A and B are shown apart, each in its own frame.
Chain A
Amino acid sequence: MVEGAQEERVVLASPKEIRRQIVKTIARAKAWHLGPNLSMVEILHTLYERVMRVDPARPDWPGRDRLISKGSAAAVLYAVLASRGFFPAETLKRYNEPGSRIVPLVEMFTLPGVEASTASLGRGLSIGIGMALAGKRDGMPYRVYVVVGDGECQEGQIWEAAMLAPSLDLDNLTLIVDCNKLQGSNRVEDLIRMANLSERFTDFGWHAVDVDGHDCDALEAALKKPADGPKCLIAHTVKGKGVSIMENDVAWHYRSMTQAEVIQALRELR
């Protein structure tokens, strides 16, 4: 056991409870990005409850596993980090509050446990490669996880990074694509034909696999499966998952909720 790693099994708030927290956080802040937050709840929940070795008391512990999370989904990351004990859930009330440090996009220096600023899309995988490479060369046993959106894979930098990672033999790097099929303006497939993402990553030299991104057991199994190079999970998800009016509706990338919609969402997530 590496010093500082958590040996006891951690139990986080359930995915449903995290969804309730996301809705409350975003409602209170009168913010948006409900769709991209709700789609990746099980991904982050599984990572922090079942897979990643972190120490909330020492967020900068050099041996920690690292997560570079999807930039447009801050509420879910912060809810999961709070649930994991990085800071009190009470802190989330300051999300996007005027004068608060907690901006509504994933950004360093906001809260402990946030590794990088990823809201300018397409950079997360490159950052993860840097962390994984340095860790490997230093003989550190940590792993690096990067979550990006499927729409985000339209950024050219993703493919610069995708080409490089297998060439560096980064067997300590895992990319998870939150494949929720929608982006800000449209269905992904209606803008850019991106079918068979797993085949594309396989062609680039990754160990890629398709997985149900709302099935924690399936995610856990895929995340824990050993591989001799970088791994890629295409996690198929539903944008806005858990709230009927938001599921698969492109509008909920940018829309804020009315009072009635907040109540309805929380009722469905009871």
Chain B
Amino acid sequence: MTPQWGAAVNEVFANFMMELGARDRDVYYVVSDGNIAGMQEFEKSYPDRFVNVGIAEQNAVSMAFGICSTGKRVFLWNNVCFLLYRPFDQIRIDAAFTRAKIRLIGTSAGYTRGPDIAQASVEDVAVMRALPNMTVVCPGDLREMQALLPQIDEIDGPVYMRLPKDRSALPIIHSADAQVTLGRAIEIFTGNDAVVICTGHALEEAYTWVSGWRQDGIDVGLISMHTIKPFDQETIARLVRSSLPVVTIEEHSTIGGLGSAVAEAIAESGRGVPFLRVGVPDRHPHVAGDPHVVKKHMGMPGPEEVLAWIQQS
């Protein structure tokens, strides 16, 4: 069963920013060139709260701190690979250490923009969740993104939001009345044979796999872990008590992302469960293609392999 598709990432964000800009003068929108689809309207409507600093990502982050120090909140929008990697020291100091209200909105996460080393971003969650004061969210569908945007803007500190490619449509997995609360995992299906936990845009694939298995009578649960930090330890502790096999799925390195966070929580529970991490292995792809091609090329387990593992666990 595949989900329906809704609005595109940049469309959802642009709508949010326009609505926020209309009611709150303390919000700035800062970009470093790049694909500015959807932001022209904000620039036109609120030119005194928009800045395009040019291709200068380090300058953008430190400047954002300067703006925040006067009581503002700054949304920085860019592809993850440019948003975080060049200016990591600036993020470490000017966002995390200072606890500035900088909202780092990163698009084209994982391999959604391309698998080349300049555009891929599969280490971002690992480095960002290691920063004190940093909140890390990875919305997996339209509802999660729509619900989490206003919630992250309430946070008295820096936030990183990880999103897929900017002009790509978001799947609609949750119902319109689903409760999406920052820091709290969402149980989409309850299962008695195994549980899949996913984060970010891996939700669509995980949902498709799990729905298919369930139609075949295999009772696999599905959890969307849209918030990586603060991490919902309670949900993991509850799963461990059920002793079911646990699979994590993410388009991110198996080092330091969702898989690591879940593994840490399982280990700290003092009990063990069969555990499989589906994610990017510790090497570079050196291949062209969309995320499906790349993941296959990298030898990442597909639905057949994961199901075989569940059956053997």
Interface residues of A (CB under 8 A from B): 62, 108, 115-117, 120, 122-123, 126-135, 137-138, 140, 156-157, 160-161, 163-164, 168
Contact = CB atoms under 8 A, between A and B. Distances in A.
A140 B70 CA distance: 10
A117 B97 contact: yes
15 contacts: A62-B70, A62-B71, A108-B97, A108-B98, A120-B93, A122-B58, A123-B62, A123-B90, A123-B93, A127-B62, A127-B66, A130-B68, A133-B63, A157-B56, A157-B58
Dominant secondary structure of chain B at its interface with chain A: helix
A130 B62 contact: yes
B64 interface: yes
Given A116-B65, A130-B65, A131-B67, 17 more contacts: A62-B70, A123-B58, A123-B90, A123-B93, A126-B66, A127-B94, A129-B63, A131-B66, A133-B66, A140-B70, A156-B58, A157-B56, A157-B58, A160-B53, A160-B56, A160-B58, A161-B62
B74 to A, nearest CB: 8
A129 B51 CA distance: 12
B98 A117 contact: yes
A171 to B, nearest CB: 16
Interface of B: 28, 48-49, 51, 53-54, 56, 58-59, 61-72, 89-90, 93-94, 97-98
B66 A163 contact: no
Contact of A126 (B54, B62, B70, B72): B62
B48 A160 contact: no
For the complex of A and B, the 6 pairs showing the least CB-CB separation, nearest first, are A130-B66, A126-B62, A160-B56, A160-B59, A130-B63, A130-B67
A137 B89 contact: no
A140 B71 CA distance: 13
A118 B22 CA distance: 35
Contacts of A161: 56, 59, 62-63
Contacts of B90: 123, 126, 157
A129 B70 CA distance: 12
B93 A117 contact: yes
B49 A137 contact: yes
A137 B48 contact: yes
B305 to A, nearest CB: 44
A123 B58 CA distance: 8
A134 B59 contact: no
A161 to B, nearest CB: 5
A135 B93 contact: no
A193 B49 CA distance: 39
A123 B94 contact: yes
Contacts of B61: 126
A160 to B, nearest CB: 4
